[in-house]
Amino acid sequence: MEKILILDFGGQYNQLIARRVRSEHVYAEIKPYNRISVDEIKKEGYKGIVFTGGPHSVYDPASPHYDPSILNAGIPILGICYGDQLIAFMENGIVSSADNSSEYGKTTVNLSDNALFRNVPETNICWMSHSDFIKTPPASFKIIAYTDKCPCAAMYDEKRSIYGVQFHPEVTHTEHGTQMLRNFVFDICGCCGDWKMDDFIDQSIDKYRKQLEGKKVILALSGGVDSSVAAVLIHKAVGDNLTCVFVDHGMLRKDEGNLVEQTFSSKFGINLIRVNAEDRFLSKLAGVTEPEKKRKIIGEEFIRVFEEEASKLGKIHVLVQGTIYPDVIESGSGDSAVIKSHHNVGGLPENIMFDELIEPLRSLFKDEVREIGTRLGIPHELVWRQPFPGPGLAVRIIGEITKEKLDTLREADAIFREEISKSGQEVLPSQYFAVLTDMRSVGVMGDARTYGKTIVLRAVKTDDFMTAEWARLPFDVLERASNRITNEVKGISRVVYDITSKPPATVEWE
């Protein structure tokens, strides 16, 4: 399979570069610059390499540098921003820093006639984000773009097929940026676009059918997109040798447990063990009010329940996990690679021995996992499920968790979600839910005074959940949700809407 290497120098758009390339049906993988040598790159047979941007200056002693022999490896290269400056630096060009040459934001760039800019207008708006700039390109390079401030906004070495651009073609603010990446991948690297989702599905099924033949396989199913897709994919490969354990900790949303059970048991015919462990979790959580303690208890108990179920099944050879690419990408900006840990309940159980760990979605981004889920026939509401924290409603109930509070929150949350989906909004918030506070306030119902609890409605817009904006929901949606919650949910006398962004608040209340 043809593939492109994204050599990571710590830039913020690196995942985006890989996604853009993959959306052209060319497989792209990201490697930290210090985790792959020139020899390994040659051995892997990459059709092209992208040097990413990064936060450093090439003259900074701590800045990431790469083995200059890569430029003579006979593989086309595209350097972006820092990657562009690094190429200039490695080949003895002059990279300078001048306050009046830094550019940030949308910038008009004048482009020459060049393979990289095929089908792109001569004058193009590009996204810039740099303070250093290339003053003089290396001797073998020609300038192929400039701006008012930047004499060398792009350069190339025709003989070696090495290109550098100061701007970011991968961000949508660069007009025709996708066309430039397409030109690089197809015309310059000679890829033909053979990475197709259907092939991925067929090849995975085929591979795991052989690899797991006769082995007993187990998977912890949460009902989230990743574990659901992994379950259906592996089931297609091993059939009844797969057992899914669905630990219902009692902190799921309304009807969620039943949806998971019906989908996987009835629709797909997967061996599913649903463990109704609500009482067990609630008794462990009794009297606990501290958020991190709640998380810890739920995480530990989850693993314990899973282990108990697994041990009832006899010898299990293989554990399947729904890890996806953003969970495993290592950061290239430091010497010690940081692997993002699975931010979820039910990490790898330590006390059970499995011969093998299989992560069939390890190379995929979330949108690719969703595409595969759809192709495998998983219902829309599961494939497009909004993120839901592993500890579930436990982090949406302030204070101690009780069965009564869970039921109250489930009702209010279901009403809010229903009103949002009924409102037919074109773009749904990234995450939206209700929170049950332990605050009481005075109300009036009929002629009587009430003293009920307060529900908070929360809806946010975000790309990465690291930062988030509160969603500007239409007032009539909020009004309908509020009316219905105070009328239909016992014990609630007030509904408020959370208008705090992240930071300073977090998405969840606990």
Smaller CB separation from ligand XMP, 73 or 288: 288
56 is catalytic: no
Report the C-alpha gap between 429 and 460 in whole angstroms: 6
Residues whose CB is less than 8 angstroms from the CB of residue 100 and which lie 6 or more positions away in sequence, other chains included = 149
Smaller CB separation from ligand XMP, 29 or 508: 508
The alpha carbon of residue 249 and the mean position of all alpha carbons in its chain are separated, in whole angstroms, by 25
Least distance (Å) from ligand XMP to the CB of residue 460?
Answer: 8
Least distance (Å) from ligand XMP to the CB of residue 246?
Answer: 16
Smaller CB separation from ligand XMP, 63 or 227: 227
CB count, 10 Å around CB of 279? Answer: 10
Residue 381: HSE in the Cβ half-sphere, 13 Å Cα cutoff: 8
The alpha carbon of residue 159 and the mean position of all alpha carbons in its chain are separated, in whole angstroms, by 38
Residue 510 host element (H or E):
none
Smaller CB separation from ligand XMP, 241 or 431: 431
Least distance (Å) from ligand XMP to the CB of residue 470?
Answer: 12
Smaller CB separation from ligand XMP, 349 or 443: 349
Is it true that the peptide bond before 137 is cis, omega within 30 degrees of 0? no
Report the C-alpha gap between 137 and 357 in whole angstroms: 48
Least distance (Å) from ligand XMP to the CB of residue 122?
Answer: 44
Least distance (Å) from ligand XMP to the CB of residue 429?
Answer: 11
Provide the binding-site residues for ligand XMP, judged by CB under 6 A. Answer: 295, 343-344, 387, 389-391, 395, 431, 465, 502, 506-508
Report the C-alpha gap between 29 and 21 in whole angstroms: 10
342 is catalytic: no
Least distance (Å) from ligand XMP to the CB of residue 424?
Answer: 24
Residues whose CB is less than 8 angstroms from the CB of residue 220 and which lie 6 or more positions away in sequence, other chains included = 227, 244, 245, 246, 247, 306, 321, 346
Report the C-alpha gap between 210 and 204 in whole angstroms: 10
Report the C-alpha gap between 60 and 131 in whole angstroms: 13
Burial of 475 from C-beta contacts in 10 A (0-12 / 13-18 / 19+): exposed
Structure tokens belonging to residue 317: 């050879």
Catalytic residue among 2, 91, 103, 170: 170
Catalytic residue among 2, 81, 130, 249: 81
- C-alpha distances out from residue 404 to 294, 332, 408, 452, Å: 17, 48, 6, 14
469 is catalytic: no
Least distance (Å) from ligand XMP to the CB of residue 341?
Answer: 11
Least distance (Å) from ligand XMP to the CB of residue 227?
Answer: 12
| Helix intervals (H) in 213-315 | 225-238, 256-261, 278-285, 291-312
Residues whose CB is less than 8 angstroms from the CB of residue 276 and which lie 6 or more positions away in sequence, other chains included = 248, 250, 257
Tell me the catalytic residues.
81, 168, 170
